[in-house]
C-alpha cells in the first residue's frame, strides 16, 4: 500500500489526468442517465470539481481546494494558470477573425461597463452592511470586480487584511456563480453567438468563471469570451484604485 502511495505522489500530474478523466466520464454518465444529456456533462463535471474543492478546502484549511491534499496536488498543476492559459489560447485555433472584428466595439464597451457595474454593486453592498470608510468600500467593490482586483486595490489603498479577505471572498463567489449559472441562463440572455459571448466575457471578466461557464454552455464560444475576459482584470486594476476610488471618496464627503 505504501508503495502505491509512493508511486501516486511521485507522479502527481499523471494521477491528475486519470482522476479528471474519471470525473468527466462519471459526469457524462450522470448527465445522460438522469437528464438525457439536457444538463451538459461538462457542467456536471465542473460542479463535481467545485464540490471536491470545497471538501479539500474544509479538510485542509488551504486555499487550493482538492489540490491541497497531497495525493491530488497534480490537479493544482493541471488546473493552474499555466496550463489553463495554454489551453485557452489553443481554443482560438480556427476562430473566425471577422467575428472578433464585428464584436470589437461591443466587446470593448462591455469590459469598461462590466468593471464599473460590478464595482458599483459590490460597493453598494458594502455600504448597505454599514461600511462608511471609502478605502473599505472601494476594496470590497474591487473584489466584486474580480478576486485579483480586490487585493491589488486593497494593497494600493492600504486596506486592512480582513477587508482584503472579504473582497477576495466576494470575487470567488462571483467566479463560482458564473461557472455554475451560465448554462442555465444562456438561453434567456441570448448567449448563443460569438458577439454575445464576447460581451459576456467583457461584462463578467472573471477568466475562470467565464471560461468554465462557456465550456458548460457551448465550447465553441469559449475563445470569444476568453478574449475579452483576459483584458478585464487589467482594466479593473487600472480604474478601481484610481478613478473609482476618487468617486467613492467624493460621494462620502
Partner 1 sequence: MIIYGVALLSACLVAGLFIGEILGKLIGVQANVGGVGIAMLLLILVHNLPRFRSLTTGASANGITFWSAMYIPIVVAMAARQNVAGALDGGVLALLAGVGAVVVSFALIPLISRIGHAPAVIESEGEKADDDE
Site for partner 1 in 159-188 (CB under 8 A): 165-179, 181, 185
Terminal-to-terminal C-alpha distance of the chain: 66
Among 6, 7, 190, 252, binds partner 1 (CB under 8 A): 190
- Output the smallest distance, CB 239 to partner 1, in A: 9
- Exposure string of 108-136, with b = 16+ CB inside 10 Å and e = fewer, is bebbbebbbebbeebbeebbeeebeebbb
Subset of residues 195 to 214 that bind partner 1, contact rule: CB under 8 A: 195-196, 199-200, 202-204, 207-208, 211-212
- Output the smallest distance, CB 2 to partner 1, in A: 25
Q: Which cell goes with 59? A: 479538510
Contact of 174 with 118, CB cutoff 8 Å:
yes
Considering beta carbons, is residue 1 or 61 the nearer one to partner 1? 61
Enter the DSSP assignment of 38.
S
Judging by beta carbons within 10 Å of its beta carbon (0-12, 13-18, 19+), is residue 61 exposed, middle or buried? exposed
Residue labelled with grid coordinates 448563443: 192
Considering beta carbons, is residue 117 or 247 the nearer one to partner 1? 117
Q: Which cell goes with 46? A: 465542473
- Number of residues interacting with partner 1: please give it, by CB under 8 A: 128
Contact of 235 with 115, CB cutoff 8 Å:
yes
Does residue number 106 form part of the binding site for partner 1 (CB under 8 A)? yes
Q: Binding segment for partner 1 among 4-12, 119-127, 243-251 (CB under 8 A)?
A: 119-127
Does residue number 140 form part of the binding site for partner 1 (CB under 8 A)? yes
Considering beta carbons, is residue 155 or 252 the nearer one to partner 1? 155
Contact of 216 with 43, CB cutoff 8 Å:
yes
Subset of residues 20 to 79 that bind partner 1, contact rule: CB under 8 A: 20-21, 23-24, 28, 37, 40-42, 45-54, 56-58, 63-67, 72, 75-76, 78-79
Does residue number 95 form part of the binding site for partner 1 (CB under 8 A)? yes
Enter the DSSP assignment of 72.
G
> What span, in angstroms and rounded, lies between the C-alpha atoms of 5 and 163?
40
Q: By rule CB under 8 A, what string of x and - marks binding of each residue 213-232 to partner 1?
A: --x--xxx-xx--xxxxxx-
Among 134, 154, 233, 244, binds partner 1 (CB under 8 A): 233
Among 15, 135, 164, 237, binds partner 1 (CB under 8 A): 237
Amino acid at each position: 500500500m505504501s508503495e502505491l502511495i509512493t508511486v501516486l505522489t511521485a507522479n502527481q500530474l499523471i494521477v491528475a489526468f486519470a482522476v479528471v478523466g474519471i470525473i468527466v466520464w462519471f459526469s457524462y454518465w450522470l448527465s445522460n442517465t438522469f437528464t438525457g444529456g439536457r444538463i451538459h456533462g461538462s457542467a456536471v463535471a465542473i460542479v463535481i470539481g467545485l464540490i471536491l474543492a470545497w471538501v479539500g478546502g474544509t479538510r485542509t484549511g488551504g486555499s487550493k481546494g482538492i489540490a491541497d491534499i497531497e495525493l491530488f496536488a497534480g490537479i493544482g498543476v493541471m488546473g493552474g494558470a499555466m496550463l489553463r492559459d495554454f489551453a485557452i489560447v489553443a481554443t482560438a485555433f480556427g476562430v473566425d477573425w471577422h467575428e472578433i472584428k464585428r464584436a470589437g466595439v461591443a466587446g470593448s464597451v462591455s469590459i469598461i461597463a462590466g468593471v464599473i457595474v460590478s464595482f458599483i454593486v459590490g460597493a453598494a453592498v458594502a455600504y448597505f452592511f454599514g461600511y462608511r470608510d471609502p478605502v473599505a468600500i472601494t476594496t470590497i467593490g474591487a473584489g466584486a470586480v474580480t478576486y485579483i482586483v480586490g487585493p491589488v486595490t486593497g494593497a494600493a489603498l492600504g486596506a486592512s487584511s480582513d477587508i482584503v479577505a472579504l473582497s477576495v471572498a466576494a470575487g470567488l463567489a462571483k467566479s463560482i456563480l458564473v461557472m455554475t449559472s451560465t448554462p442555465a441562463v444562456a438561453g434567456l440572455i441570448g448567449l448563443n453567438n460569438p458577439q454575445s459571448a464576447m460581451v459576456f466575457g467583457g461584462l463578467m471578466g472573471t477568466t475562470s468563471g467565464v471560461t468554465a461557464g462557456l465550456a458548460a454552455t457551448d465550447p465553441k464560444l469559449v475563445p470569444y469570451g476568453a478574449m475579452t475576459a483576459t483584458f478585464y482584470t487589467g482594466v479593473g486594476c487600472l480604474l478601481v484604485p484610481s478613478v473609482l476610488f476618487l468617486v467613492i471618496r467624493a460621494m462620502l464627503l
